[in-house]
Structure 1
Amino acid sequence: MIKIAYINMGESVRAQRILCVCLILFVFLTSIAYAQNDYGFRVLSRVLPGEAHASFEAGNLCYVGAGNVLQVYDITNPAAPVLLGQLPLKGQVEDVVVIDNLAYIANGVKGMIIADISAPTQIQILSQLALPGEVIGVTIIAPYAYVAALDGGLVIVDITNPLLPALVSFVVVNQGAITVDASGSLACASCGYGGLYFFDISNPNSPTQLSLVDTTGTWVYDTQIRGNYAYMAYALDPDGGGLKIINIANPSAPHVVGNLITSYSFDRLDLNGNYAYIAAEDGGLIIVNITSPSNPTTAGAWHGGYGGNVSVLNNRAYLAGVEQGLRIISATNPASPQLMITVPTFSACQDVEKAGNYVYIVEKPSGIKVINLQNMSAPVTSYNRQFYYQNGAYQGVGEGISVAGNHLYVVDYSDINGGQNDFRVYGLTNPAQPDSQGIYILSSSPRGHKVRADIAYIATGPT
């Protein structure tokens, strides 16, 4: 019999911290065990464990944020990327920057994580820092990390000691910070309908607002600073978007000098040479010639799928397409970008557990998938079931999944059926086909769980 112990996250801060420490240690051990499996470090038929939201390239390595997992690929041959290692995390990987064998990870509500990636097959968490707001973007200018933390605004972190990063200061901005960039003593924060802020960061302990660019009617997604110009990707209300080029020679009085308007919403961008590479949502990838700041023009486009984020290296664009996965696109000829390969993804993977030849996945909408990896080049889905169905669609969120002995454990919640929250137990006599053995109704939504011996420890929200 499984016994259940609650940890109410709304009442016990100490319990929450203890659980977080346990979860971080568990993630670290799991990542090493998974990286050192008997099959070597090969792409699992090029399937990511979650939606692709972020990517970063350094040399022959590509770092991909796939749901709540950081993955490292060898892209020496971009037509056949090889999975070297991965690090499961508890928050979604929103952004990642790699400098000198350290990965700085924007991990959503879990804060900022610094990981040692000197050995890609054995990624190690060095530190995890909780920050005000939800961390969704990060820029590094040593010895500081400049973080976009939504309601927390622009956050500055001292990363002199990666084992012990320290919060230096933060500035709350209107509508929340989505992305940040910094150059020298100047930082900018893109804030959706809240506009584009510029800050003097010469004193990191007390950043000073210099100006706010009025962007009425537009949603500012991303901005990058280069020299005397800031390049701002935006979406128009209700449709379309574009790229504005802003003269910031005097950052206290920025002014727009160029504007390219298209029928697509522009999301994230990356500057490379004379071009801006833009993830254009339903427009895929759009390449803009920025040789003349006053006259940006479309150089080329790839409209083969969704573009949510982009990073460029060596004439290749790495386009994160959320549930459509990661696409590697050759931009050797910017006028005619060509798709090289697609690394697909599962839809909204919430948590994943590997046991033997199988990977067990809990998803949003709430449900379970079991993937047989006995043939690594051709994984097979052996089990697929959703929990809640109403109004013609599957509902709910699978919050966590684990395997202990011959049993599979799942915690999930739903906003239907009176807000039902469950702890589910499955038998794994046949690991390819979990057998439901019981459901325990929880009094509040689960946040995490651990099973030790015959006791399940479940962290929940306030009742």
Structure 2
Amino acid sequence: MRTKVLSMSVLLALLGLTLRGAVSAQQADKVELVGQFGGGANGVAVRGDYAYIGVGPRLVVLDIASPTQPTLAGQTDVLAGIIRRVVVVGNHAYVADGMGLRIIDVSNVSAPEEVGFCDTPGSASEVAVDGGYAYIADGGSGLRVIKIADPSSPSEVGFLDTPGSATDVVVAGSYVYVADDSSGLRIIDISNPANPSEAGFLGVEDGAYALSLDVAGDYTYLGTQGYARLLIVDISDPANPTEIAQHTLGDLPMGVAVAGGYAYVTGYWDGGLLVIDISDPSAPSEHTFFDLPGSTGELVVAGEMAHIINVGYGLHIVSVDDPANPSEISVYTTPGGVGDVSIVGDYAYLAASQGLRVVDVSEPAHPGEVGFNAMPSAPIALDISGDRAFVAAGASGLRIVDISDPLNPSEVSFVDELHGANDVAVDGSYTYVSESSHTRSGLSIVDITDPPTPTELGFFDTPDRALGVAAAGDYAFLVDGDALRIIDVSDPVHPSQVGLYDEWGWFTGVAVRGDYAYVADNGTWYSSGGLRIIDVSNPAQPALVAFLVTLGNPSGMILQGSLAYVAARGSGVRIIDVADPANPKEVGYYDTPGDAQNVHVAGGYTYAADGSGGLFILRYPSPPFRVHIPLVVRSH
């Protein structure tokens, strides 16, 4: 579980100061947050003319008075966690963010502001609010009951540790209905919120997992994965819930909403909106399927509109006035998650959910998108040489983009024969691509002498998934599984391995400088993750010099001076002093709220590609926190 953050408000109040964007020592050490951009969309609530959605670590408020033209009304500052679910009641939004419950004052939609927080022991994934209490589906910690009478001071008053992992929650009357993973549907009596007790349950078959649900009248509509189905459960007697029907789905049911005799279900793999006729709950029938790109998640049906979250694309507003013929009214596009970042001048180039995004970072505290180039699949990594960006785009191979005009990046060519491009390194006239697909895994060497007509010259097979790659002179350094392979590429048509270092672990990234290769070891269930420093002065005999165990699971890194900046997934960015390669030591960190995958350093700033958290702009070392006390000289 992510380390929780304690507030500095008491200290600052005593000093008579405010510190906007401050982070506590438990969240960062010697590193400060400067700016943030983007993030994956998750969670949606609708009230009146406004939609409230999570975009990475921010709550974003959209004006939907005109559904055909949703516009930004306001957003919070960066919160400490990634928003998962949102409920709005009165002047407050209640947010489950994996760390706990956050309460946001939305009385002024142009400036929503966090006013309260209650930590939970598990992974807060869903929230429901009723009668002065918030009910949290807290993963392995079950149901948590939080009193919210004073929004500035929410406190847990009760809990019930369900047998499974609580993923969704709905309140109806005196009962809470919980989707509890392999433990099915749990019905909990909350007539005494301080002492919730289980009233009844309905198990699911082996291999099935309760994922999402909604309640309407005497029925619960339960979405299950494993066996993708919608179960219709009679709950007229909460002590004895009874399944009366089920409908087979073609996808994981990420969201379920019931309105007007229909169940609306969103899917993860195929996306889209499935409409099921439940006018007779004992005989559900598929009404229609409306296709949407990407993965669809949480949804809210309000009036004639379905508001559907798409993790990579944003918010879709779909008319369901005629449930048999849904039609998209509009889409509010969000930047999506970020997998890699590279900086050139005043611009950050992001491998983002839908393609290559160009962000102006001339004012690091206020980054803003200025250009975009769409791609057929989500990019994973990129490298820049001159006025070209070389993008490893997974299933859609290597994409080459002209960035001579950052405001109008344009694709000039691609090599789609590379069906699983994971990483890319450019050195001179060649691009080295790590590839892993169902047909092959290894290192591809592509001639980019003429960028409009790139040509694969050679390929080196590896036995495991090739993930990270670096190039230096006549050698390419490739990590696959638990191995670092040193490959002679002096003849690019016939690459050959000259050296091998292997050890228990899962190697995901590599950087090379001088006589050393720095390997990000993601770790395994039986070995710790960390930074491996390997002497490659003799390529035929690479040797481990040091291994520094780090928090998190290192993924990518960059070397700058005597420092290695390591993206450590759930533990953010770790900064390692490698001046003495035999004795590396951590000298600073920032625990980003998302999934730090790669990092770049330029102009005194650290740019972290934080997955669902978007782009984080950091500074190390952070300026010292000073309190100026004027000297008063008294005359005698």
Do they superpose with TM above 0.5? yes
Q: Do the aligned partners of residues 98 and 27 (structure 1) sit closer, same or farther apart at CA in structure 2, a change above 3 Å counting?
A: farther
* 2-structure distance, mates of 1:54, 1:220: 19
Q: Deviations over 1:206-253 (max 9, x none)?
A: 11112221102322111222222111112234xxx2211111111111
Structure 2: runs of 5+ lacking an equivalent: 13-17, 24-36, 374-379, 384-421, 424-433, 435-464, 469-506, 510-519, 523-529, 533-553, 562-574, 579-584, 593-617, 626-636
Which residue of the partner structure matches residue 292 of structure 1?
280
Amino acid of the residue matched to residue 370 of structure 2? P
Contact 2:357 2:371 in 1 (8 A): no
Q: Do the aligned partners of residues 78 and 269 (structure 1) sit closer, same or farther apart at CA in structure 2, a change above 3 Å counting?
A: same
- How many Å apart are 1:152 and its aligned residue? 1.5
- How many Å apart are 1:79 and its aligned residue? 1.9
Amino acid of the residue matched to residue 379 of structure 1? V
* 2-structure distance, mates of 1:198, 1:359: 52
- Which of 140, 145, 150 in structure 2 is aligned with 1:156? 145
2:171 is equivalent to residue 182 of structure 1: yes
Q: Deviations over 1:163-218 (max 9, x none)?
A: 11110111112231001111111111101222111111111111111222110232
Q: Normalising by structure 2, report the TM-score.
A: 0.54
2:251 is equivalent to residue 257 of structure 1: no
* 1-structure distance, mates of 2:166, 2:71: 34
Correspondence 1:35-50 to 2 at 5 A? 49-50=38-39
2:36 is equivalent to residue 26 of structure 1: no
% same residue: 25
Partner SS for 1:104: strand
- How many Å apart are 1:421 and its aligned residue? 8.3
- Which of 133, 154, 171 in structure 2 is aligned with 1:144? 133
Which residue of the partner structure matches residue 79 of structure 1?
68
Q: Do the aligned partners of residues 299 and 381 (structure 1) sit closer, same or farther apart at CA in structure 2, a change above 3 Å counting?
A: closer
Partner SS for 2:296: coil
Contact 2:300 2:306 in 1 (8 A): yes
Contact 2:138 2:167 in 1 (8 A): yes
Correspondence 1:407-426 to 2 at 5 A? 415=522, 418=532, 419=554
Partner SS for 1:267: strand
- How many Å apart are 1:20 and its aligned residue? 9.1
Contact 1:283 1:302 in 2 (8 A): no
Which residue of the partner structure matches residue 69 of structure 1?
58
Correspondence 1:58-137 to 2 at 5 A? 58-87=47-76, 88-109=78-99, 111-137=100-126
**Higher Rg of the two aligned structures:** 2
* 2-structure distance, mates of 1:233, 1:309: 12
Q: RMSD over aligned Cα, in angstroms?
A: 3.9
Q: Do the aligned partners of residues 140 and 452 (structure 1) sit closer, same or farther apart at CA in structure 2, a change above 3 Å counting?
A: same
Amino acid of the residue matched to residue 276 of structure 1? A
2:257 is equivalent to residue 243 of structure 1: no
- How many Å apart are 1:128 and its aligned residue? 1.1
Amino acid of the residue matched to residue 222 of structure 1? S
Q: Do the aligned partners of residues 424 and 228 (structure 1) sit closer, same or farther apart at CA in structure 2, a change above 3 Å counting?
A: farther
Q: Do the aligned partners of residues 120 and 359 (structure 1) sit closer, same or farther apart at CA in structure 2, a change above 3 Å counting?
A: farther
Q: Do the aligned partners of residues 378 and 136 (structure 1) sit closer, same or farther apart at CA in structure 2, a change above 3 Å counting?
A: closer
> How many pairs are equivalent?
388
- How many Å apart are 1:260 and its aligned residue? 1.2
* 2-structure distance, mates of 1:244, 1:420: 40
Which residue of the partner structure matches residue 337 of structure 2?
348
* 2-structure distance, mates of 1:361, 1:146: 40
- Which of 159, 180, 185 in structure 2 is aligned with 1:196? 185
Q: Do the aligned partners of residues 28 and 312 (structure 1) sit closer, same or farther apart at CA in structure 2, a change above 3 Å counting?
A: farther
Q: Do the aligned partners of residues 20 and 221 (structure 1) sit closer, same or farther apart at CA in structure 2, a change above 3 Å counting?
A: farther
